[in-house]
Amino acid sequence: MEVRLEGITKNFGSVQILKEVNLVFPSRKFVTLLGPSGCGKTTLLRMIAGLEEITAGQIVFGDRVVNRLAPKDRNIAMVFQSYALYPQMSVRKNLGYGLRVRGTVSADVDAAVERVAKILEIDHLLDRKPGQLSGGQRQRVALGRAMVRKPDIFLMDEPLSNLDAKLRVTMRSELRRFHLDLNATTVYVTHDQLEAMTMSDLVAVMHQGVVQQFGTPAEVYSRPANRFVAGFIGSPPMNFLTAARRGNEAEAGGGVLSLPPLSDDATKAETVVIGVRPQDLEIVPVSGNDRLKGKVSLIELLGSEKLVEVDFVGVRVLVQVRADFPVKEQSEVFVHFNPDRLHVFEAESGQSIVKRATL
Ligand SMILES: Nc1ncnc2c1ncn2[C@@H]1O[C@H](COP(=O)(O)OP(=O)(O)O)[C@@H](O)[C@H]1O
Ligand SMILES: [Mg+2]
């Protein structure tokens, strides 16, 4: 089912928490609301669920405005960060609880529980109590409890944040698989950009109650609409260099760099911020076009890669190279800034001014 948010605004007292959010979540897609803590993700999700009043705007499921519909009439399922299973009930009873209280006949409850337990690969655990399960297994039971009702829309608020790092990685791919089996529109909330990038069909990047960009993971990564999105997505984070622009060149770090083609309305931007990812920079042995001379101040081994910190005049950047790349601390190097890999933002507004073909 398609979910449309039209001009959604939320005030708590006199404070505006969400500002005119306009988003369309296509039917059956996995959509993520991504942003730092406090940007309004949970509030927006709770409004979709019907748990939070809407100050202004409309929420539409399919062709039906649901603003006034009670949560139980929205055919949604929710999994929150802190989920509580009934400790005295078996996994089977926990999974079927939501259906039983709605008066579903027991043969249908059993069938639904079996179906979901199979998808989640917890069918061998059905007769255990929650206390006899690992954290990851309990998390799957919580997911299963939400899935048994065949919801149209599946809402998840940071469901992996209580799990340890290794289990989170496994659960990412499992959640993606569940989504493909479940066939519901999924709205997933996280502050973890890697989670968003790996699981989603579409990502809405939020900051201070405003949607900054809505696109596929590839779009928000390679064509960030502004400096906030550019800095929030990707690890290690993008390098930023303030630069004085002259035409299609810019002075930064004690040298001159060629810029990518800029949009037509960018001619007035004299001070720009150049963004470049550590993975997109290259350390080269000799001077040349689009190369800045610098000094290696620090090297950090990451495993198969290493991060090289290079100091230029007035600015410092991180360059990511393979672990076996020959480079020494304190040595002088040249760093190549390939214009095709550069992002350019207007200094004041932070908006991207790069002209790029659509992906
Ligand atoms: N019931 C409430 N009353 C007042 N302010 C609230 C309430 N709930 C959330 N907020 C505020 O709204 C902002 C967004 O919160 P939230 O939606 O929980 O953010 P996120 O989930 O992105 O971390 C925060 O500044 C938070 O303090
Ligand atoms: Mg939250």
Cβ(43)–Cβ(36) under 8 Å? no
Name the band, by pLDDT with cuts 50, 70 and 90, for residue 148: confident
Q: Is the pLDDT of residue 358 over 60?
A: no
Ligand 1 pocket, 39 CB below 6 A?
yes
Question: Of 121-125, 208-212, 317-321, where does mean pLDDT reach its minimum?
Answer: 121-125
Q: What is the pLDDT of residue 170?
A: 82
- C-alpha 154/C-alpha 64 separation (Å) is 17
Q: Is the pLDDT of residue 127 over 70?
A: yes
Q: Atom 4 in ligand 1: which residue has the minimum CA distance?
A: 12
Ligand 1 centroid – CA 38 distance (Å): 6
Question: Of 73-82, 187-196, 202-211, 237-246, where does mean pLDDT reach its minimum?
Answer: 73-82
Mean pLDDT of 149-155: 89
Ligand 1 pocket, 43 CB below 6 A?
yes
Q: Which sequence spans correspond to the domains of the chain?
A: 3-224, 236-346
- C-alpha 46/C-alpha 27 separation (Å) is 19
Q: What percent of the chain has pLDDT over 90?
A: 75
Ligand 2 centroid – CA 214 distance (Å): 19
Residues in the 5 Å CB sphere of ion ligand 2: 42
Name the band, by pLDDT with cuts 50, 70 and 90, for residue 185: very high
Q: Atom 8 in ligand 1: which residue has the minimum CA distance?
A: 43
Name the band, by pLDDT with cuts 50, 70 and 90, for residue 258: very high
Q: What is the pLDDT of residue 357?
A: 65
Q: Determine how β-strand 56-61 pairs with β-strand 30-34.
A: unpaired
**Superfamily in which the 3-224 domain is placed by CATH:** P-loop containing nucleotide triphosphate hydrolases (3.40.50.300)
Question: Of 145-149, 203-207, 278-282, where does mean pLDDT reach its minimum?
Answer: 145-149
Please give the helix or strand (H or E) that residue 146 lies within, else none: helix 135-147
Sign of the CA dihedral with 35 first, then 218, 143, and 166 last: negative
Of 98, 51, 42, the closest CA to residue 71 belongs to 51
Q: Is the pLDDT of residue 58 over 90?
A: yes
What would be the CATH architecture of the domain defined by 236-346?
Answer: Beta Barrel (2.40)
Q: Is the pLDDT of residue 359 over 50?
A: no
